[in-house]
């Protein structure tokens, strides 16, 4: 019995396969659809790791938002317990421009976030909603557009 060996085609690695594709269509799409100058109504940031490390990464973002030229508030809805008044001060945030809100009674953090966005008294409403399904995300987007505000959801994990 004689075995016939047929040469196998070598499989490209994922990186090589990507690089083998022509880049012209990708570049064309980028040029034809540049980033909009108008900000999105909803953004989400996911941070994983030790609580202290996550807060260190979050501090410059919140600091920048607290110094926004817009006269409206930076509102934080139901922040984690580690985000205290002392932490806000130590992180260099402008505490005179920040509202810290907690849901009361039967009100959920999602409902409070939507209400704060809809009212339009905040330029940015930061929430810590996790998990956030598609319906809840759409509610935040709609409320943000109504109030001409930005919704920023932070997922810690």
For 110-130, write each residue's pLDDT tens digit: 999 999 999 999 999 999 999
pLDDT in tens, 30-80: 555 555 566 789 999 999 999 889 999 999 999 999 999 999 999 999 999
Q: How confident is the model at residue 16 (pLDDT cuts 50, 70, 90)?
A: low
Q: What does the alpha-carbon distance between residue 121 and residue 146 come to, in Å, rounded to a whole number?
A: 11
Closest of 110, 106, 108, 105 to residue 125, by C-alpha: 110
Note the Cα 80 to chain centre separation in Å.
Answer: 16
What domains does the chain contain, in order, with CATH numbers? 40-154 (3.40.50.300)
Residue 95: DSSP 8-state: G
β-partners of residue 76 are 100, 126
Sheet with 98-101, side-by-side order of all strands: 42-47, 150-156, 122-127, 73-77, 98-101
With bands split at pLDDT 50, 70 and 90, how would you rate the model's confidence at 157?
Answer: confident
Tell me the mean pLDDT in the region 69-97.
Answer: 95
95 contacts 122 by C-beta, under 8 angstroms = no
Instruction: Read off the pLDDT band of 23 (50, 70, 90).
Output: low
């Amino acid at each position: 019995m004689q075995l016939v060996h047929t040469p196998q085609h070598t499989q490209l690695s994922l990186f090589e396969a990507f690089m083998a594709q022509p880049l012209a269509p990708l570049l064309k799409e980028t040029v034809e659809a540049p980033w909009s100058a108008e900000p999105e109504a909803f953004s989400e940031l996911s941070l994983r790791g030790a609580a202290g490390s996550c807060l260190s990464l979050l501090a410059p973002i919140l600091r920048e938002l607290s110094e926004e030229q817009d006269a409206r508030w930076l509102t934080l809805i139901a922040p984690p317990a580690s985000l205290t008044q002392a932490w806000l001060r130590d992180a260099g945030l402008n505490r005179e421009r920040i509202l810290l809100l907690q849901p009361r009674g039967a009100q959920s953090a999602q409902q409070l976030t939507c209400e704060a966005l809809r009212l339009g008294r905040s330029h940015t409403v930061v929430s810590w909603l996790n998990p956030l399904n598609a319906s809840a995300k759409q509610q935040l987007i709609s409320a943000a557009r109504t109030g001409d505000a930005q919704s920023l959801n932070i997922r810690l994990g």
